[in-house]
Structure 1
Amino acid sequence: MKILKTLIRVTVNDLDSALSFYENLLGIKAQSRFGYPEMKLELATVGDILLIAGSKEVLKPFQDTNGTFLVDSVEEFKNYLEQQGGKIIGRIKDVPTGRNMIVKHPDGAVIEYVEHFKQV
């Protein structure tokens, strides 16, 4: 059970301009860019930043999540976090990159846990 990467989540309305800004700011190109049509979202990662793009209405449910942890096993983290007093507020489900869940930590932080099945 291991956290592979921690991502800061930034919600935006226009992915192209945000992507350009963060690529220039960090001096690196995006490592991934993909659509999530079921949720009407488009996402990209630049370094340790996860850009989540969509309309104001579509983004609303995603803005309460404080960060994203890429992990080696969502299932193992689910069991561990429940034992530590975490509350699963978004059940494990399939997403374009693999599987995820949303957890409210005992301190109140809301974190998305993602296990990648394929490289994006």
Structure 2
Amino acid sequence: MTILKTYARLWVDDLDASLPSLRTLVGTEPELRFAFDGIELAAIGDFLVIAGPAEERARYAHASATVIVDDLDAVVAGLTAAGGEITTTEATSPTGRYLYARHAGGAEVEYVEWVPELVDRIIGPVDRRLGR
């Protein structure tokens, strides 16, 4: 299993109001933007901006980060072998498969295995033999 990208989560009320300052800070446009289950998300640089009503955002606030991986099944095997547990079972979104897991020390993280088109567009070619 390889970690392809890690996003710090930013919680905002209004996605459009938050993006101009992030565009300036990061120096780029969002790589990804979509609506999902009552919230809006945008990936810009190393930030995942999560917007929407507070009660909708609260459903996802238990995770401290979003980690993009190349093999979600390997994440499950590795985390459970190390004493972690899956807290939200695997589901799908417009970006691919995801789940939430609590590590043995208590940290909770969202892990996502992107669809190949996103990996190619945002990360570039991945050679699993080289760990990237």
Tell me which interval the TM-score lies in, with the shorter structure as reference length.
over 0.9
Displacement of 1:23: 0.9
Displacement of 1:96: 1.3
Please tell me the root mean square deviation across aligned C-alpha atoms, in Å.
Answer: 1.2
Displacement of 1:9: 0.7
3-state DSSP of counterpart to 1:18 = helix
3-state DSSP of counterpart to 2:105 = coil
Q: Partners in 2 of 1:61 and 1:40 — Cα distance?
A: 10
Q: Partners in 2 of 1:58 and 1:77 — Cα distance?
A: 27
TM, length-normalised to structure 1: 0.93
- What is the aligned partner in structure 2 of residue 17 from structure 1? 17
Which one of 33, 46, 49 corresponds to residue 48 of structure 1? 46
Displacement of 1:77: 0.6
Displacement of 1:65: 0.9
The code of the aligned residue for 2:66 comes to: T
Displacement of 1:61: 1.9
Which one of 67, 72, 75 corresponds to residue 74 of structure 1? 72
Deviation digits for residues 55-96 of structure 1 (CA, Å, limit 9, x no counterpart): 011011212210011000111111111001111001011111
- What is the aligned partner in structure 1 of residue 112 from structure 2? 114
The code of the aligned residue for 2:41 comes to: L
- What is the aligned partner in structure 1 of residue 84 from structure 2? 86
The code of the aligned residue for 1:58 comes to: E
Larger Rg: 2
3-state DSSP of counterpart to 2:25 = helix
Seq. identity, %: 36
3-state DSSP of counterpart to 2:28 = coil
3-state DSSP of counterpart to 2:74 = helix
Q: Partners in 2 of 1:94 and 1:26 — Cα distance?
A: 28
Displacement of 1:31: 0.9
Q: Partners in 2 of 1:94 and 1:27 — Cα distance?
A: 30
Stretches of structure 1 lacking an aligned partner (at least 5 in a row): none
Aligned length: 118
Q: Partners in 1 of 2:106 and 2:66 — Cα distance?
A: 15
Stretches of structure 2 lacking an aligned partner (at least 5 in a row): 122-132
TM, length-normalised to structure 2: 0.85
Q: Partners in 1 of 2:26 and 2:84 — Cα distance?
A: 33
